[in-house]
Amino acid sequence: MSYVASIHIYPVKSLGGIAVSQATILASGALEGDRTFAICDAAGEFINAKRNSGINFLRFSFDIKKRIAGLKIKDTEQEIFFHIDRERPEIEYWLSSYFGFPVKLIENLLTGFPENTAAPGPSIIGTQTIAEAASWFPRVCVNEMRHRLRANIEIGDVPGFWEDRLFPEADKFVRLKIGTIIFEAINPRGPCLLSTQNSAAKKAYPNFKNALIAKHKEIRPDLVKQGGLNHFSRLIVNTRVSPQATGKIVRIGDEVQIVSVTKTLFNTIPD
């Protein structure tokens, strides 16, 4: 039986996540507390791995109840703690010093700052997919791969690259039932981890793109023939959620079922 193996939320867009046992669906479809904050520059542009490789070397921790955020630089010992609400200027000063230019920490409690605004629901990936992708790189552990991919819901008891198998053709859409909630799943997206513009990522993972393409050719030759392999990595499933699901909770251990496959997106998703 496929089930929810773990849930992660990422309080600050592009930074590290925290594991939770359950999460509430917001009206937007996002998980409460996920990507609630974002770092942006003076022009209002998000600071992410595609635009600034320095984001990859920041480590973030967060105490949800106390609202205490911890920031440190990778491979250093000193971690600085701030109250994310009361000490926002101090956080911005620390981050500005780190990046070398002024930044702001902005907040959106209603929708957060989703990676895909057309499908702002929680992102999904199989736990085995993360493990297999990590195994190709001797210096990359599973947790590091998880940190880089930043998916919300991990599915257990499914094979590696189960995400591709969800979609028999490139233009199909899948409805999943997780617990009591219906999710509309959209073709897997490539992770933000390995933009070819990111020199730090290229140095750390020089063969990532070729390795993923080779793996897909091995396990999904039909996808290659259909022309569906149009991105070097199709690992993470984006979702939409019905407004009727607002306030419902997804929990570790919830059963995951495929409800239906269709060629078109639903205008409404029945509760």
Q: Which whole-number Å values give the CA distances from 262 to 61, 124, 144, 271, in the listed order? A: 40, 19, 35, 17
Structure tokens at 41: 């520059």
Q: Which single residue is written with the structure tokens 């921790």?
A: 61
Nearest CA to 96 out of 156, 155, 21, 39 is that of 39
In the prediction, which pLDDT does 198 show? 38
Nearest CA to 179 out of 4, 30, 1 is that of 4
Structure tokens at 177: 């039932």
**What letter would DSSP give residue 204?**
H
Q: Are the beta carbons of 44 and 254 closer than 8 angstroms?
A: no
Task: Read off the pLDDT of residues 130-175 as tens digits, 9 standing for 90 and up.
Answer: 998 888 777 788 988 888 888 999 999 999 888 877 776 666 788 9
Q: Are the beta carbons of 125 and 136 closer than 8 angstroms?
A: no
Q: What are phi and psi of 91, to 5 degrees?
A: -65, -45
Task: Read off the pLDDT of residues 30-81 as tens digits, 9 standing for 90 and up.
Answer: 999 999 999 999 999 999 888 898 998 999 999 999 999 999 998 999 999 9
Task: Read off the pLDDT of residues 15-43 as tens digits, 9 standing for 90 and up.
Answer: 999 999 999 999 999 999 999 999 999 99
In the prediction, which pLDDT does 228 show? 44
Q: Are the beta carbons of 179 and 251 closer than 8 angstroms?
A: yes
Task: Read off the pLDDT of residues 200-242 as tens digits, 9 standing for 90 and up.
Answer: 444 555 566 666 667 666 765 555 444 444 443 467 899 999 8
> CA–CA separation, 132 vs 78, rounded Å?
32
In the prediction, which pLDDT does 234 show? 61
Task: Read off the pLDDT of residues 99-142 as tens digits, 9 standing for 90 and up.
Answer: 999 999 999 999 999 988 888 999 999 999 899 888 877 778 89
Q: How many CA atoms lie within 13 A of 41 on its CB side?
A: 12
Q: Are the beta carbons of 142 and 131 closer than 8 angstroms?
A: yes
In the prediction, which pLDDT does 49 show? 81
Q: What is the dihedral angle through the alpha carbons of 72, 73, 77, 78, rounded to the nearest 10 degrees?
A: -40
Decide if pLDDT at 267 tops 70: no
